[in-house]
Amino acid sequence: MFIRGRMLIFFLDVVSKWYELVVFTASMQIYGAAVADKLDNRRGILRRRFYRQHCTPEMGSYTKDLTSVSSDLSRVFILDNSPAAYRAFPDNAIPIKSWFSDTSDTALLNLLPMLDALRFTDDVRSVLSRNLHNHNLWQ
C-alpha cells in the first residue's frame, strides 16, 4: 500500500500541474471527502469535489454528469474504473482498472505520457473518442 500511495501522490502532483483536478465520486460525501482530504494533504489540488448526491442513479449504478464540472466538454475528461459512471460521456472517458492492493500496479504512471500529450489538443474528445474506452490500454 505504501508503494502505491507514493505512486498516487506522485501522479497527483504531476497531473495537478497540467490540469485542474476534480474529485467526482459515487461515494457518499462523508467517505469521499475523507479520502480526498487525505489525498490532497492540504496542498489545495483537489478543491472541487462532487459526491453521490451529484450523481444520477441509473440502471443500478451512478452516472456522473460531466457538465457539472464544466459546460465546455472539450477540456474535460474522466478517469474512472466504472463504465457506468461515464456512460453519457464515453468520448471524454479514460477507463482504468480497479485497484485491489496490487503493489506492482503502474496504471496511473502509464497514463502520464498520454495525459501530457492530451493537454495540447484543442478537444480531448478528438483523441479519446477513438474508442479508447473499448480497449484495455490502461489496465
How confident is the model over 22-55, as pLDDT tens digits? 999 999 999 999 999 999 999 999 999 999 999 9
**Domain for residue 14, yes or no?**
yes
Distance CA 103, CA 6 (A): 11
pTM (2 d.p.): 0.85
pLDDT at 7: 84
The enclosing domain of 36 has a CATH number of 3.40.50.1000
**Domain for residue 50, yes or no?**
yes
DSSP-derived pairing of the beta strands 48-50 and 55-58:
unpaired
**Domain for residue 80, yes or no?**
yes
Model confidence pLDDT, tens digit, residues 61-103: 999 999 999 999 999 999 999 999 999 999 999 998 887 767 7
Q: Is the predicted pLDDT of residue 14 greater than 90, yes or no? A: yes
User: Side-chain half-sphere of 133: how many Cα atoms within 13 Å?
Assistant: 22
